Amino acid sequence: DSGVTQTPKHLITATGQRVTLRCSPRSGDLSVYWYQQSLDQGLQFLIQYYNGEERAKGNILERFSAQQFPDLHSELNLSSLELGDSALYFCASSVGLGDTGELFFGEGSRLTVL
Q: Minimum Å distance from CB 76 to other proteins? A: 15
- Integer Cα distance of 49 and 96 in angstroms: 10
Residues in the chain: 114
Nearer to other proteins, 13 or 37 (CB): 37
Q: Which residue type, as a one-letter code, is found at position 107?
A: E
Q: Minimum Å distance from CB 93 to other proteins? A: 11
Q: Minimum Å distance from CB 83 to other proteins? A: 21
User: What count of other Cβ atoms lies within 10 Å of the Cβ of residue 56?
Assistant: 14
Nearer to other proteins, 78 or 94 (CB): 94
Classified as helix, coil or strand, 85 is: helix
Nearer to other proteins, 75 or 107 (CB): 107
- Integer Cα distance of 103 and 91 in angstroms: 10
**Residue 99 half-sphere exposure, CB side, CA atoms within 13 Å?**
2
Q: Minimum Å distance from CB 34 to other proteins? A: 12
Nearer to other proteins, 23 or 78 (CB): 23
Site residues, other proteins (CB under 8 A)? 2, 4, 41-43, 45, 56, 88, 90, 92, 97-108, 110
